[in-house]
Amino acid sequence: MPSLNDYLLVSGLLFAIGLAGVVLRRNIIVVFMCLELMLSAANLSLVAFSRFNPINGLPDYHGQMLVFFVITVAAAEVAVGLAIIVALYRARQTVHTDDLTSLKG
């Protein structure tokens, strides 16, 4: 049976991949997917902690409850985020982040 460290290692890898994707990738849809990947990494570590932290022989369900909330919020966020990306594409004809520099100071 895998230990807590194994889960946390996978979670950390997922987070690192997600972060690298956010930082390095130029396509905004990929960036968005990488963001979701980071959320999943956080969820994984929450579930793992919950599983390996039993109270009276039962897992600590607080962590798992939080994961449900995160998934729900992430779903809502995806809806909004994709809508923004579609609107952005309609306005600028691009989803490439290098072309989106109007926030330049």
User: Which spans of this chain sit near other proteins (rule: CB under 8 A)?
Assistant: 19, 22-26, 28, 31, 97-98, 100-105
* C-beta closer to other proteins: residue 26 or 62: 26
In the bound complex, what is the minimum distance in angstroms from residue 44's beta carbon to other proteins? 18
In the bound complex, what is the minimum distance in angstroms from residue 48's beta carbon to other proteins? 18
Task: Give the Cα separation of 101 and 95 in Å (integer).
Answer: 12
Task: Give the Cα separation of 93 and 79 in Å (integer).
Answer: 20
Let me know: does 82 contact 73? Beta carbons within 8 Å.
Answer: no
Let me know: does 62 contact 69? Beta carbons within 8 Å.
Answer: no
In the bound complex, what is the minimum distance in angstroms from residue 24's beta carbon to other proteins? 7
